Amino acid sequence: MKNLEIKVRCQDVLHAHRAASSLGIEKQWTVIQKDTYFQVPRGKLKLREVDGFSAELIAYSRPQENEGKISHYDIIRTDRPQEMTALLSKALPVELIVEKERSLYLWENVRIHIDLVKGLGAFIEFEAPINEPVDEQAARHKLDHLIQTFNIHDQDLIAVGYFELLKSTNKKGI
C-alpha cells in the first residue's frame, strides 16, 4: 500500500482543529497511541497500540524529504499486542517508543492527524492513499489544498518522522 504524506510543525493546535472543521468535516476521534519501534536492517517496523482498537504491526519505508513523500507500508492487525511485543523482542531489540495523542479528521480520502507527541510538541500530518499512478497527482492537489487551508509555510514542513525527531534529540522514549 502507498500514501502521499506531509508532516508539519503545528504552532497553534486550536487553529489546526478550526482549519479542519472549516472543511465541513467533524473529528472522528482522539486517542492515545503508543508506537514501539524495533531495530531492523532496513525501513521501519513498529507495533502501534491504541485503546479501543486492534494493535497494528506496521512495516514501512519512506524517503526523508519536506515536500509530499510516498510511503510504502504493510499492516498486520493483532488483538494480542503484548504477546507480539514479547515475541518480536526476542529477535529484534526495541529501539524507541513514541507516545502521542492523535486526533483524526477525514476529508475526502485524506487522513488529517493533529498530533501531540510526548517530548516533541504538536504536529499536523496529511496522508492521502494512492492506489494508481493517476491517484498520485490527485493526492498532491488535495494536499496542496490542505496546505493552503491550514496556512502552512515551507519552514513548517518536516522531512522526517517522529522516530527520527526523538532520536535526534537523544530522547529514547523508552
How high is the pLDDT of residue 174? 46
Average pLDDT over residues 60-75: 80
Which of the four pLDDT bands, split at 50, 70 and 90, describes residue 63?
confident
Q: Which residues pair with 30 in a beta bridge?
A: 103
Cell of 156: 513548517
All residues at 6 or more sequence positions from 91 whose CB lies less than 8 Å from its CB, including other chains: none
Report the candidate in 60, 64, 65 with the shortest Cα–Cα distance to residue 43: 60
151: left (phi over 0), alpha (psi -120 to 50) or beta: left
27 versus 173: which is more confidently predicted? 27
Average pLDDT over residues 131-145: 88
Mean per-residue pLDDT over the chain, rounded: 92
How high is the pLDDT of residue 25? 96
* pLDDT above 80 (res 172): no
Which of the four pLDDT bands, split at 50, 70 and 90, describes residue 66?
low
Structure confidence by residue, pLDDT tens digits, 73-106: 999 999 999 999 999 999 999 999 999 999 999 9
* pLDDT above 70 (res 67): no
Q: Are 72 and 1 in contact (CB under 8 A)?
A: yes
Query: What residue ranges define each of the domains in the chain, with the CATH number in brackets?
Result: 2-168 (2.40.320.10)
